[in-house]
Amino acid sequence: MKSYDPAQIRNVGLYGHQGSGKTSVGEAIVFLGKATNRLASVVEGNSNFDFEPEEVRRKTSMSTAVGYAEWGRNLVNVIDAPGDSNFAAEAVMSLVAADLGVIVVSAVDGVQVGTGKAADMLAEAGLPRAVFVTKIDKERSDFHKVLADLQAALGPAVVPLALPIGAESSFSGVVDLLALEARTYAGGPNGVKGQPPADMADRIKAAREPLVEKLAEQDDELMMKYLDGGELSADDLKVCLGKGLKSGGVIPVLVGNATGGTGVDLLLDVLATYGPSPLERTSFKTRKGDVAAELKADPSGSFVGYVFKTIVDLQTGKITVFRVVSGSVPAEGFVNVSTAAKERFGGLVKLLGKKTEAVPAGVCGDILAVVKLKETRSGNTLAADAASGELVTTPLPAHCISYAVKPKSQGDEDKVSAAVQRLVDEDVGLGLSRDEESKEFLLHGLGQSHIQTAVDKLKRKFGVDVEMKLPRIAYRETIRGSAKMVEGKHKKQTGGRGQFGVCYIDMEPQPRGTGFVFEDAIFGGAIPRQFIPAIEKGMRDATTRGVVAGYPVVDLKIRLVDGKYHDVDSDARSFEMAGSRGFKAAFKLCKPIILEPIMNLTILIPDESLGDIMGDVSSRRGRIMGTDAAGRMTVVKAQAPLSEVQTYASDLRSMTSDRGSFSMETSHYEELPPQLAEKLVSEAKLEEEEE
């Protein structure tokens, strides 16, 4: 494949609601651009972009995929991002690769939650936006309703650049409102140009007037000409469209049927002619320490690249997908700024899904891939200069659900850890940690479907079969009462030297957050000084294992007041056991209680969901701490027990039709209600008996 000048490259991201038809638009682009010789289909399971078995089975995108098309004198790089919020991290990572976002909308389903999310995400990243309305040939499709809803949702920048000829089964082509010509598709996806249908004259006029007015607004001089009653020429309008699209002042809406490729050639014409090149992107910054600096996309500058996708392929090896942000790819290798590791590129390739085609060079702005980099992962910044800073990118969505995973086969813990880490390399939305208290491996993600997909991949890709359950909650045990002079005694006679140690302790509660306090109040040598640390050790060990339900003990004070010893039989081990037994005996006398973690929740929801969410929080033993307005959304601040919100991510999506999101962090501990505490203690005793 030949190299392109950076000014000829167009990096286009496809975004929108799940199932809106993004991948079909991508397939039509790569087919029309002759990167593939057939128009592949998600429905038929032969998509270039949805190549993972989980995607083929579910017929939906779960990860970002890239492709390319050659259109005229331009190279169009396509980034197909998933619309499912379970895989939102993939879409966020792709923002570095795209210079323009095409929001794909179904003419049947209209503007959906994912439509608004995609538009907001692109706007926050400072990327120009266009809209492609697809599925116009389907029953119940309604382009004009979709257009009105888009204008209501995204604002007055939205204007139609094309109108459909016919609708549903009678759809036959599109009218280009800028050129005032029709494209019909009786012979396939390459449109035949001609005159617009005469019966559409009034609709074309009504749609073109606001388009021309919006385009005129993009240039002050042409706006004055337009207001003075002058006609804007075709060249004037083209200049305005280029300015408006790149600045965000115009969000053009095009229309077609991506599964048949119709209307996509006009979309490609618009992208190639008016879309921004990589050299026009001005939003890049790098940061080193606390110092941020602008990064210009300069073809002759020092090389800087950014890895936005990693594919783990068992046959090929790890495939690293990156954008050349500035400069060109150096033959001598690069420094991974994020890890300080030095690596060398092998052969550079272009990707179409997983298919590769070699390229002679990596120029500024291009999207390329390389195989078998050892120390490089998604999110890493690459540079020729080790002193370069890391690229500043949009923050990834926070994990909102966790599951404990353990191998079904004993002894496979290390295998599970290694396999999950490879998944995390591939999917930046996943996270892996180990709970030191419960010793569980915790897999963190953006939703239950996200975690389940990862578990399915573990088995398919790496042969690791795991069980999945909600993580063990970090309950705590403490006391409400006090006890004095409680005996802890360890005595054992075996025929030779025995074991003997006795201690007497007082126990009392302490304020929350104090932990465990030990006071030595021994006088007169009742216990030799060398055995005091052993008593404390026995008690501290007991706090880690718990007394009534197996959870760590907190917030109490022990005072060691008396004891007994034997000149021959007493040793450190004897007093360690005595301390442990005295601790447990005193604890049971001091009205033990269970504490549960309380979480601070920050919930972002549509205004109309406020009543439902407040009622739901109350039903979870939670309390509302306050609300704040955030545009058309409401921020609810609440507190709720962790046990009640472990699966809140899925529940919130269901209650808000996927429009709600939340974050949470540990706030404090509170007493678990008695009936729930009794159940927890009973379950702990049952587990102990089974063991």
Question: Domain-by-domain residue ranges, the chain?
Answer: 6-280, 285-391, 401-469, 476-590, 596-675
Distance between CA atoms of residues 470 and 125, nearest Å: 35
* Distance between CA atoms of residues 135 and 631, nearest Å: 31
- Determine the residue type at 391: L
Note the pLDDT of residue 462. 87
CB 149 within 8 A of CB 110: yes
In this prediction, residue 461 has a pLDDT band, given cuts at 50, 70 and 90, of: confident
Q: Return the residue matching tokens 């005469």.
A: 198
Q: Is pLDDT at 608 greater than 80 in this prediction?
A: yes
3-state SS, residue 222: helix
Res 281: pLDDT: 94
- Convert the pLDDT of each residue in 72-115 to its tens digit: 999 999 999 999 999 999 999 999 999 999 999 999 999 999 99
pLDDT at 579: 97
Q: What is the mean pLDDT of residues 468-476?
A: 94
Query: Same CATH fold, 596-675 and 476-590?
Result: no
Give the integer Cα–Cα distance in Å for 175 and 163.
Answer: 5
Q: What is the mean pLDDT of the chain?
A: 93
Q: Is pLDDT of 346 > 80? A: no
Asked if pLDDT for residue 304 goes beyond 90, the answer is yes
Please state which CATH number belongs to domain 596-675. Answer: 3.30.70.240
Distance CA 290, CA 573 (A): 53
401-469 has CATH 1.10.10.410 classification:
no
What is the pLDDT at residue 66? 98
Report the length, in residues, of the chain: 691
Q: Is the model's pLDDT at 691 over the cut of 60?
A: no
Q: Is residue 633 very low, low, confident or very high in pLDDT (cuts 50, 70, 90)? A: confident
Q: Are 241 and 6 in contact (CB under 8 A)?
A: no
Quick: pLDDT tens for 411-451.
Answer: 778 888 888 888 888 899 999 998 988 888 899 999 999 99
State yes or no: pLDDT of 126 exceeds 70: yes
Do 539 and 556 form a contact (C-beta atoms < 8 A)?
no
Does residue 683 contact residue 672 with C-beta atoms inside 8 Å? no
- On the question of pLDDT at 689 being above 70, the answer is no
The predicted structure's pLDDT at residue 317? 83
Burial of residue 199 (number of CB atoms within 10 Å: 0-12, 13-18, 19+): exposed
Tell me the one-letter amino acid at 685. K
Beta strand ranges found along 510-620 (DSSP E): 516-520, 556-564, 592-606
Question: Exposure of 660 by Cβ count < 10 A (0-12 exposed, 13-18 middle, 19+ buried)?
Answer: buried
pLDDT-derived band of residue 313, with 50, 70 and 90 as boundaries?
confident
What Å distances lie between residue 617 and 183, 400, 652, CA to CA? Answer: 54, 16, 10
Task: State which CATH number among 3.90.79.10, 3.30.1380.10, 3.30.200.20, 3.40.50.300 fits the domain covering 6-280.
Answer: 3.40.50.300
Q: How confident is the model at residue 524 (pLDDT cuts 50, 70, 90)?
A: confident
Supply the pLDDT for residue 95: 97
Chain Cα centroid distance, residue 249: 29
Supply the DSSP string of 304-355, one letter for each residue.
EEEEEEEEEETTTEEEEEEEEEES---TT-EEETTTTEEE-----EEEETTE
> Token digits for 405?
């995973």
Which tokens in the block code for residue 31? 């087919």
Output the pTM of the full model: 0.87
Question: Is 476-590 a domain of CATH 3.40.50.720?
Answer: no
CB within 8 A of 113, min separation 6: which ones? 17, 657, 658, 659
Rounded CA gap, 131 and 134, in Å? 10
Query: pLDDT digit string (tens) for 569-601?
Result: 999 999 999 999 999 999 999 999 999 999 999
DSSP element (H, E) containing 68: strand 65-71
Whether the per-residue pLDDT at 189 is higher than 60: the answer is yes
pLDDT interval class at 523 (50, 70, 90): confident
Instruction: With cut-offs at 50, 70 and 90, classify the pLDDT of residue 17.
Output: very high
The fold of 285-391 is Elongation Factor Tu (Ef-tu); domain 3 (2.40.30)
